[in-house]
């Protein structure tokens, strides 16, 4: 049996524009971010996707993205579960700092939003985030998908990177850049070995999907 899961990063936020580490800070969407969320909903609707269960973080940028996308899809009343385990990775002392300033103060590797292998003081590493997400994946999301639920997860850049590692560890390049409001489709048969990841094209009125390594 083929299983499918769609992950969606929130639309553009104010601190995305300012190139800051956002993390657990509750920063709202920009007007463009709202439009991106609606466009993601259009792309999913035009591609024939419908959901009966949505997971989001408790941060407003993810919740608003889910709300806008579902409204466009004609699914305003489906079950939505807000779970703090889906919140963005905590960046500790880096939170609110511009990427360029973090690189200047702490070194170039600290100026990248994914911070592979690094744990900011007072914050989380990606491995920490994966361990935070693992129980949610194993006992809630995975079980729902394998039971036949049509699941959408609306979260954050590093949350999606961590999910990608949980789903596809050792199956190709790591997911560095996670565009805002671009749906990612994960498909697998039986056990989640050999998971295929597909990113939807959201720039055109006619949606298409192109495989990502």
The residues that are catalytic are: 10, 88
Q: How many other C-beta atoms lie within 10 A of the C-beta of residue 27?
A: 20
Tokens 């936020």: give the residue: 13
- Give the phi and the psi of residue 195 in degrees, each rounded to 5: -75, 130
- Three-state helix/strand/coil letters over the chain: CEEEEEEEECCCEHHHHCCECCCCCCCCECHHHHHHHHHHHHHHHHCCCCCCEEEECCCHHHHHHHHHHHHHHCCCCCEEEECHHHCCCCCHHHCCCEHHHHHHHHCHHHHCCCCCCCCCCCCCCHHHHHHHHHHHHHHHHHHHHHCCCCEEEEECHHHHHHHHHHHHCCCCCCCCCCCCCCCEEEEEECCCCCCEEEEEECCCCCCEEEECC
């Amino acid at each position: 049996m083929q299983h499918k899961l769609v992950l969606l990063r929130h639309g553009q936020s104010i601190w995305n524009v300012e190139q800051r580490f956002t993390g657990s800070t509750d920063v709202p969407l920009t007007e463009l971010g709202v439009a991106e969320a609606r466009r993601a909903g259009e792309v999913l609707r035009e591609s024939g996707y419908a959901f009966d269960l949505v997971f989001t973080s408790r941060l407003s940028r993810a919740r608003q993205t889910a709300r806008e996308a579902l409204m466009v899809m004609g699914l305003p009343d489906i079950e939505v579960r807000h779970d703090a385990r889906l919140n963005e990775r905590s960046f500790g002392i880096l939170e609110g700092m511009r990427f360029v300033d973090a690189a200047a103060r702490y070194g170039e590797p600290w100026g990248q939003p994914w911070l592979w292998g690094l744990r900011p003081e007072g914050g989380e590493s990606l491995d920490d985030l994966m361990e935070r997400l693992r129980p949610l994946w194993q006992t809630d999301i995975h079980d729902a998908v394998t039971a036949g639920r049509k699941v959408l997860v609306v979260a954050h850049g590093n949350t999606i990177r961590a999910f990608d590692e949980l789903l596809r560890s050792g199956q190709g390049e790591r997911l560095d850049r996670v565009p805002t409001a671009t749906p990612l489709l994960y498909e697998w048969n039986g056990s989640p070995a050999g998971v295929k990841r597909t990113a939807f094209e959201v720039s055109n009125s006619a949606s298409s999907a192109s495989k990502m390594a």
